[in-house]
Amino acid sequence: MTSDPDLARDLSQARLNLLRLASKPLRDGLSVASAEAAAPHLRAMLKCRAVAVATQEGVLLAWEGDAGHHLDWVIEAAFEAGHTGRQQVRTQWEMHCGQMDCPVRAVIVSPLEVDGNVVGSLAAISEDSARTGSLRAVSDLARFVSAQLELHGLAPPTGIDGFLADERTDAWRPPSHVAQRVVTVALRVLPAGSRPRYTEELRDELGMLGRWAQLRYAFRFATGSWQLRRSLCHRAATPARET
């Protein structure tokens, strides 16, 4: 903590720089290469003894830092996080690493999710005990990593052919998690009675678009959602509930 505004700004910029450095490789998807490239920056952000990135099955993709003798507990917790989708914590009392001077106080593992599915986990091997702040820090960073991984599948198609090919799909597919979330938030401004109708209508239409086109559709709809609200509110004889 600091009261010096210049120092605070520098710290903030340093953190933003770390986020930027970590995000670049993660947008290539979850792999050994991307996890190894991002891990040093993730560790610098958490300021912990080590970080690990694992697959949903608990297979280790990257380990940055020391305290490697805690690997077994990290893998076990990563497997658990990958299958339950819930944050896992192992305290020093549970791990019994056998080293009297071991500085590790806790292993905190948060799941990484893409489109609502757990794809892996991020583990912090920490010298601090598992307090609320530490748990939240790992959880927040895992959400950031998840968001970057989610962007992997949403890279814009290149060239005009790519855009045209992405515009419509032959068959309906469930809309992407991101587009669906944008639309869900936008729908909140509509009168409550109209929301179920537009939820179903928009879900159908989004599912007929390619993933990149879904995002364009969702953001345009969000921009115009207040106009839609005005249109619905000004109806001369609005039914009590849309059918």
Which residues make up the interface to other proteins (CB under 8 A)? 172, 197-198, 200-205, 207-209, 213, 216-221, 223-224, 227-228, 230-232, 234-238, 243
Q: Which of residues 100 and 160 has its CB atom nearest to other proteins in the complex?
A: 160
Least Å distance, CB 163 to other proteins, is 12
Least Å distance, CB 113 to other proteins, is 24
- Give the 3-state secondary structure of residue 126: strand
Q: Which of residues 65 and 193 has its CB atom nearest to other proteins in the complex?
A: 193
Please state, in angstroms and rounded to a whole number, the distance separating the CA atoms of residues 68 and 105. Answer: 14
Tokens at 23, concatenated: 């995000």
Least Å distance, CB 212 to other proteins, is 11
Least Å distance, CB 225 to other proteins, is 8
Q: Which of residues 124 and 209 has its CB atom nearest to other proteins in the complex?
A: 209
Distance in angstroms between the alpha carbons of the first and the last residue of the chain: 55
C-alpha 52, offset from chain centre: 17
Q: Which of residues 87 and 194 has its CB atom nearest to other proteins in the complex?
A: 194
Q: Are 148 and 26 in contact (CB under 8 A)?
A: yes
Please state, in angstroms and rounded to a whole number, the distance separating the CA atoms of residues 93 and 206. Answer: 50
62 beta partners: 53
